[in-house]
Structure 1
């Protein structure tokens, strides 16, 4: 089965197409992708839906490696709201 593993940073993206055996899991795909900076990963998603490491994959799935948030979204909105409108 074919799957894609994707990791994104603010200004760059890395993706790898893999051929994995039937019954492969998210953790199998991540291990096969061999990304640098894997210690930055805070979680996983399959097509944008949160996934666990042991979730089984299907042919054509996209595994996304999620980074931790840099700032709480509520705090980011507060900061934008406080900026003067120009």
Structure 2
């Protein structure tokens, strides 16, 4: 008897291009296995699919080795941040405070 399959999507967007891949995987497949099976590492060689951060529908998955997929899940592969958002806000606030101080 054939193993039951589920339909999922795997998505990744680089700065230049994006890819959405619809695929079927065996029931019980974990997130990391699906990411590796997607083949997106060949399309985007800068990706390290064994350790890149991933999420499902915008919520980061902290344990991708043990999180089992459900039918219809969309796995999102996240690229590293170029700058820390907290630091950027801190710098913007400091510039605004300085401008206010100089131009009361």
Name the counterpart of 2:70: 58
Choose 1 or 2 for highest CA Rg. 2
Q: Give 5+ residue unaligned stretches, structure 2.
A: 1-5, 100-104
The equivalent position to 1:77 in structure 2, one of 82, 89, 97, is 89
For 2:92 and 2:20, the matched residues in 1 are separated by 32
Which ranges of 4 or more aligned residues in structure 1 deviate by more than 6 Å? none
Higher relative contact order (CA 8 A, sep 6+): 1
When normalised by structure 1's length, the TM-score is 0.81
When normalised by structure 2's length, the TM-score is 0.68
State how many pairs are aligned.
Answer: 84
For 1:80 and 1:39, the matched residues in 2 are separated by 32
Q: Give 5+ residue unaligned stretches, structure 1.
A: none
